[in-house]
Amino acid sequence: MARRTRNAMWRPLVVMAACAACVTSSNAQGPTSSSSANPIPSTSANPSPEQSAPPSLPKPSTAESREQALRRQVSELKRERDDLAIRKTQLETQVASLKGRLETVKVWQKPQFVLGGRSSAYVVGLAESGSDFEVTSKSTGDEVDWAISAARKVGVPRISTPRAERLARQLYSELQPGDFVSSQIREQIQKEYWKSWQFVGMPPQANLSFVTYREVRANRPEVGILKVVSPESLTVRRVAAEDVVVQRGGVRPGTVWADDGDRIIPALEVGDSFLDYCLLAAAQKLSLPDDINGFVRVAVHVNIDQLLKSFEQGTPTQLFNIRYGEDGNNPLQGNGSFAPDNSSRRAEIDYQVDRGGMSASQQKFLHQQGRRIEDEIYERLLKLGVSVVEREYADQIKTEQAYQHVEDIRDFARLADATHLLVAELDESQQAARFRLSMRLIDLRDAAVKFAASDDEAAPTLDDAQQFVLNSGRPAILTAVTTDEKGKPIEPIDLKGFESPRRVPFVGPSSNKPPENPLVIFENVVGDELIYRPLFSRQLQSLPLDKVRYELFEATPQNLDSNATRTQKLRYAVWQLAQATLTPAGRILNVAPDGRTATVTLGTRHGLRPGDVLRVLRTFDRSGGDQFQGLEEMLIPARLTVQNVLADSSSVHIVDNGIDVAWQSEEMRPGIGDVVVSRVELPRRIAVLPPYPQRPTQGEAAPLWRPTASGAMLIERNKVANDATRVALEVQDQFVQSLSQFGPIVSGQYQVQDGLFNQIDADATLQELGAKQATHLLGGTLELESKTRFRVTMELRTLERGPSGKWQYGHTLPTKVEFTLGTREWN
């Protein structure tokens, strides 16, 4: 087609050139030869030049222009022909190169694994042949990228560790495709890279049984895969390269709990215990069957995007703690992350941000905590013998310009030559007022999720700041006996009526020392012992009845203002509010003779529903030998499933332990008096407002508020008004500081319509506090009883969105606390 087109273009050019040649020849002969050749005589004696030339012939200048144009066209056609020839050569070269690349791709799809990676100088493909390894391909230079890309697309593992790269360099220089490696190199490959990986000593398809227990020495919860149970020992695979044998004498009696698979999660604590379980379960899924060889390398990614979003929007979640791993300077390294001795040295997040947004330093702080958890995962995987992608290498890939278009973290993991991706996500729990850790193990060859779990079902870690209140007992005043039966003076006993350290302070005159008559919670009288506990403690205390007297306390403003309780009125008021806001806990009232069912003091009034799972707490003596080390409250390995629910009580089923009967301690089974608490902790953020002054209508203070007051009365009224403002702010400040021990607090003010009293804009106040994610509102009134004393009435109410989307008071009944306060009493 191209040749015919070109000939067609040439034909008119040839004719035109011939015509031009004839015209030129005719003009060259002159008029004489023209006349003799023409038989027609001229009609003019002196013919003009125009008449002497044939009219059909072009002018000489026109002929020259056409000739030049023709020559130029010929030159352009020749140049085009040359360009086409060059382009043809280039295309032929490219086709040949692509054919070579295609052959390279085919060659690099043949090996079972590749030594070297995308940044290696040399890469070598190997395949198993019986017990030997055959070199299937090798590349260097520019071909490395093509080779690694081809292997990656078909899922051929790339082993790009420094030792593997050195071995690839050696094999590239010594062997050719089709050669077999030496026996020495074969042993190295089988030992380090290509083998049947067993990270926990169990094949991936095996059903696992997990066990959790506490050691006597460390007293931290341990988690492991249960291998063998004997009457005197347990064989367990913890996060380590080898199994360990745990002797029965080294385990705290009654702290062992075993179960199959993810059924162990409710018996675990949030934090290290759950993390150990996840990594053990994931390591089993990373393992290979006994008869299959392969390579495993894991990339780790911690995602805190949802965490940042929750904090940016102003989460109503209570105190948020991340507690994973030991501090590097901790002398008890590996001896119990949650033991009281070292809990203060843990990495913790314990703050909130307002709806206004997070600062750069706060975002940096959360990113640092994500990195810390990532470090803990790296460390545990290495202890299990799992090869991991170095974080620096993964970060380098993310910053390279060639991969800026990559968004999926799985693609980054593949670029880093990982075979699996372990994703840890921090977000807000849907079942409790805390944040949860979720983990997923993804096989990058087919994007299948091999393992997934979240700590929603795990029990929150127990510490001194546990956010729930015990629903048992009644307030009482204790008095130490100072005389014996005969009236002789005796040394008064230490009543031990206050928690240590104190959660809520004493306020008022003489508040620098504990009151002589502590206000406590009376629990029971057993024999000749009084059983009680401090207001803000769940630890029971006992005193002999002949050394102490108790009187049940009725909370009235007059009783709270007595000499015995004046400095404790704030503590009692905060205790009343805590009863209404914190997650309720109860006690076991009775246990059936067969030990399978029990009754607890929690019911529908406390939010309990059939099917809920309760955890059991018990206080233990931490004494070692003859030395008393104090009391400690901890979970015992028992689970209670709620069955029938009444208003203030419920019947529960005691779930059987999965451990051998020989390891089950009857005295450590759930018993009467044990504390039970739901794992669900409701979100709470209390907005504390100062009590708003009310104008008295009667009494000695009423004249002070008359609009017609003048002279001395006006001066007195202004003084009282200033006192009211100061007292209101003092009350707000004390409640803010005290309630902050139990959850996040929002400090606010009432919105008013004008400057007159009783003109509060309730709707505007609720909308402002709702925008700050407040779940409760604590506010009230301040009424002048005399010139120097006020009656304080505070009400705690819940907030919720109404049908219109506006914030309104909830349907639950308000909790009211009432007391009197002097103008300088809390100053």
Cα–Cα distance between 109 and 105 in angstroms, integer?
Answer: 6
The DSSP element (H or E) to which 457 belongs, if any, is: none
Cα–Cα distance between 313 and 357 in angstroms, integer?
Answer: 7
Q: Are strands 686-688 and 776-786 parallel, antiparallel or unpaired?
A: parallel
Q: Strands of 448-454's sheet, edge to edge?
A: 298-303, 420-428, 435-443, 448-454
Q: Over the Cα atoms of the chain, what is R_g?
A: 44
Cα–Cα distance between 424 and 380 in angstroms, integer?
Answer: 14
778, 689 contact by CB (below 8 A): yes
State which amino acid sits at residue 625.
G
C-alpha distances in Å from residue 626, one per residue of 161, 364, 448, 623, 629: 55, 48, 57, 7, 10
What are the backbone dihedrals phi and psi of residue 340, each rounded to the nearest 5 degrees, phi first?
-55, -30
Q: How high is the pLDDT of residue 401? A: 62
Q: How many CB atoms lie within 10 A of CB 30?
A: 10
By C-alpha distance, which of 406, 371, 375, 397 is closest to 388? Answer: 375
Cα–Cα distance between 586 and 646 in angstroms, integer?
Answer: 14
- The two tokens of residue 191 are 């030992």
* Collapsed DSSP state (helix, strand, coil) of residue 313: helix
Tokens 């509060």 sit on residue: 760
Q: How high is the pLDDT of residue 631? A: 55
Cα–Cα distance between 215 and 236 in angstroms, integer?
Answer: 13
Kindly report whether the peptide bond that precedes residue 157 is cis, defined as omega within 30 degrees of 0: no
By C-alpha distance, which of 505, 506, 499, 504 is closest to 464? Answer: 499
Cα–Cα distance between 761 and 768 in angstroms, integer?
Answer: 11
256, 213 contact by CB (below 8 A): yes
Residues 209-246 have pLDDT tens digits of: 999 988 888 767 899 999 999 888 999 999 999 999 99
Tokens 């040649």 sit on residue: 21
Q: How many CB atoms lie within 10 A of CB 295?
A: 22
Tokens 């067609």 sit on residue: 8
Write down how long the chain is.
Answer: 827
Q: How many CB atoms lie within 10 A of CB 609?
A: 11
Residues 4-48 have pLDDT tens digits of: 444 444 444 344 444 444 444 444 444 444 333 344 344 444 444
Class assignment of domain 209-286?
A: mainly beta
Q: Which residues pair with 260 in a beta bridge?
A: 209
Report residues of the chain scoring pLDDT below 50. 1-53, 57, 316-357, 463-465, 623-630, 756-757
Cα–Cα distance between 212 and 224 in angstroms, integer?
Answer: 7
Cα–Cα distance between 698 and 428 in angstroms, integer?
Answer: 52
Q: How high is the pLDDT of residue 758? A: 53
Q: How high is the pLDDT of residue 700? A: 58
Q: How high is the pLDDT of residue 778? A: 93
- The two tokens of residue 692 are 């708003």
Domain limits of the chain? 2-93, 108-192, 209-286, 298-457, 477-581, 583-678, 686-822
Cα–Cα distance between 448 and 205 in angstroms, integer?
Answer: 15
Cα–Cα distance between 331 and 385 in angstroms, integer?
Answer: 25
The residues, any chain, with a CB within 8 Å of residue 623's CB and separated by 6 or more, are 629
Q: How high is the pLDDT of residue 279? A: 96
pTM (predicted TM-score): 0.65
- CATH number of this structure's domain 108-192: 3.40.1690.10
Q: Are strands 613-621 and 631-645 parallel, antiparallel or unpaired?
A: antiparallel
Q: What is the largest CA-CA distance in the chain?
A: 180
- CATH number of this structure's domain 583-678: 2.40.10.410
Q: What CATH architecture applies to the domain 298-457? A: 3-Layer(aba) Sandwich (3.40)
What are the backbone dihedrals phi and psi of residue 694, each rounded to the nearest 5 degrees, phi first?
-110, 145
